[in-house]
Chains A and B, each alone.
Chain A
Amino acid sequence: MIEIHPLVIFFASIFTNNMILSNFLGMCSFIAVSSEIKTSLSLGQAVTFVLATTSVLNYIVYYTILVPLGLEYLRFIVFIIVIAAFVQLVEMIIERYFESLYYSLGIFLPLITVNCAILGVSLFMIIREYNLIQSFAFGVGSGLGWTLAIVAMAGIRKKIMGAKIPKGLEGAGITLIITGIMALAFLGFSGIVQIQ
């Protein structure tokens, strides 16, 4: 494993290795919540927060508990438990302090639990053998990348609100097509850095 600077990982995970646009992880809430910029930004912040924290927590749990005990094969269940508990905590905090956000996120807040982008980050950092700082940069970067993608999508969807879209493509259909085109655009960044 070559030593990559954490900042490189940070920027790479926003642009070249964007969770949504190059790995296609975390698509469900990306499609469903991207109808409004404000809500998208809030969900993006929640995802970023959960990603940054769970990547560090999972890193610590993995290297201080699972590896010494030779229990690496338990990583799926352990990661998922940690993520679930953390999302539960975030939900409580949002319900208490950001009530209207709580209602506008609705079911998608608890669904962060099974957002594949989040488990994806935890698994990638293990597979790519990142150290703690790199993992943290990767977590924050991926979260910001996810936020960037969903907010950009919400902006585009707002722009095309008045556009004539073929009946069968309204809603999710056109969103998926736009996602594809955005992914093509982001493909232009690839090759600038390699982080795996």
Chain B
Amino acid sequence: METIGVTVLTISGITGLLALLLSIANKTIANYGEKKIVINKSKELTVEGGDTLLSALIEQKIFIPSACGGKGSCGYCKVTVTEGGGEILATELGYVTPKEREEGVRLSCQCKVRNDMQIQIPEELFSVKQYDYHVEFIKDVTPTIKHLRLGLPEAEEITFKAGQYVQILAPKYKGSDEEVYRAYSIASSPVDTKAVELYIGYVKEGKATTYVHNFLKPSMKLTVVGPYGDFFYQDNDREMVMVAIGTGMAPIMSILKYMRSNKIDRKVTFFFGARTSEDLFEMDTLAELEKDMPNFKLVACLSRPSEKDNWTGEVGRVTDMLEKYLTNASNSEAYLCGSPVMIDSVIPILGAKGMPEEHIYYDKFE
């Protein structure tokens, strides 16, 4: 009996002593104290040290864009750190170009706050806010794409430019044990400040898309942060060429609706590509827009129409349609939205048709 007592006491004593030592270390070595972050040499914040710069800024209601949720895999959360950032880490090198590196660009999700810091962020990020939306409706527009309309509470409104995107926060649910932020383009018009509409395609094992497709129900709350992005409607008189595949149609829809409500009568051709007719969505709305805007022309094309589609329209990829319909594009501008592969193959075609590179705007969905 006595040996048991001695054994237990010895082990507890040693463990307890080590635990004490470690908690002291945690309070001293792992405790970074309060640090100051000065943004754009004007705004000063005091934050708890030791966290990543991204989460420290989010805590202070400054929302740096991040599509992967701080895992260092999207490269969106770039911030210029002019002082106090320490050495760039191996995990960031893949996303920061040598030129950016010289300027002090860091991924804010990797860079930790260990010293007082001086950072530079684009001014428009200050207008990014967090909104508590509720789901007004959620419905299927194709078997894999959901159409969501999110409404704001009475007193709030959102201002954004047609073409920009927001991030939704998918909470923890059965099967996903972490909160994730994912980016989706706004499909509704900026004129409508009380709501945003999104098209969300299902991605196999995607944490946010699974949440939206399987768990999100009408009248549930959804946290949205935004708006973000430098892809938006440019105000000028050039002819417009728009190209989108799949859910890439969302920001184009927003731009078209914005043009309709502001009676902008520019010549627009929209090339909308899909695999089968099942994947073409919101064709009624697009037809309506076509009716209301005499200078707007829709070219829908299917790359693999099946027998039962009875498709009489264009067959081929959007690149084929551009070759076919576009002649001289030297005085046009383009808005491209969809997969990186599509965008990378469209840009050279536009260039060959005479479109200057600086008039090509695009948003790659990854």
* A interface residues (Cβ-Cβ under 8 A, vs B): 61, 65-66, 69-71, 74, 77-78, 81-82, 85, 88-89, 92-93, 95-96, 99-100, 103-104
Contact = CB atoms under 8 A, between A and B. Distances in A.
Interface string B135-166: 00000000000000000000000000000000
Contacts, number: 55
Given A89-B21, A89-B25, A103-B91, A96 B30 contact: yes
Contacts of A93: 29
Nearest to A84: B18
B112 interface: yes
Contact of A92 (B10, B29, B112): B29
Central interface residue in B25, B32, B91, by most chain A CB within 10 Å: B25
Given A65-B10, A74-B10, A104-B90, A99 B18 contact: no
Contacts of A99: 86-87, 89, 112, 114
A5 B193 CA distance: 83
Given A71-B7, A88-B22, A103 B14 contact: no
Interface in B68-96: 86-87, 89-91
B26 interface: yes
Contacts of A82: 14, 18
A70 B7 CA distance: 9
A92 B31 CA distance: 10
Give the size range of B's interface with the partner.
20 to 34
B89 A100 contact: yes
A174 to B, nearest CB: 24
A99 B110 CA distance: 11
Nearest to A61: B14
Contacts of B15: 81
Contacts of B90: 100, 103-104
A102 to B, nearest CB: 9
Interface residues of A, dominant DSSP: helix
Interface in B1-54: 3, 6-7, 10-11, 14-15, 18-19, 21-22, 25-26, 29-30, 32
Contacts of B30: 92, 95-96
A43 B355 CA distance: 54
A100 B114 CA distance: 13
12 contacts: A66-B10, A71-B6, A74-B11, A77-B11, A81-B18, A85-B21, A88-B25, A89-B21, A89-B25, A92-B29, A92-B30, A99-B112
B14 A65 contact: yes
Contacts of A78: 10-11, 14
Given A82-B14, A93-B29, 20 more contacts: A65-B14, A66-B10, A69-B6, A71-B7, A78-B10, A78-B14, A81-B11, A81-B18, A85-B18, A85-B22, A89-B22, A89-B25, A89-B29, A92-B25, A92-B26, A92-B30, A95-B30, A99-B87, A100-B87, A103-B90
Contacts of A103: 89-91
A71 B15 CA distance: 15
A82 B14 CA distance: 8
B108 to A, nearest CB: 15
A78 B12 CA distance: 10
B324 to A, nearest CB: 46
Contacts of B7: 71, 74
B40 to A, nearest CB: 25
Nearest to A88: B22
Contacts of A104: 90
Nearest to A65: B10
A89 B21 CA distance: 9
Nearest to A96: B29
Contacts of B112: 99
Nearest to A100: B87
A99 B89 CA distance: 8
A86 to B, nearest CB: 8
Nearest to B28: A92
A69 B10 CA distance: 9
Interface in B247-261: none
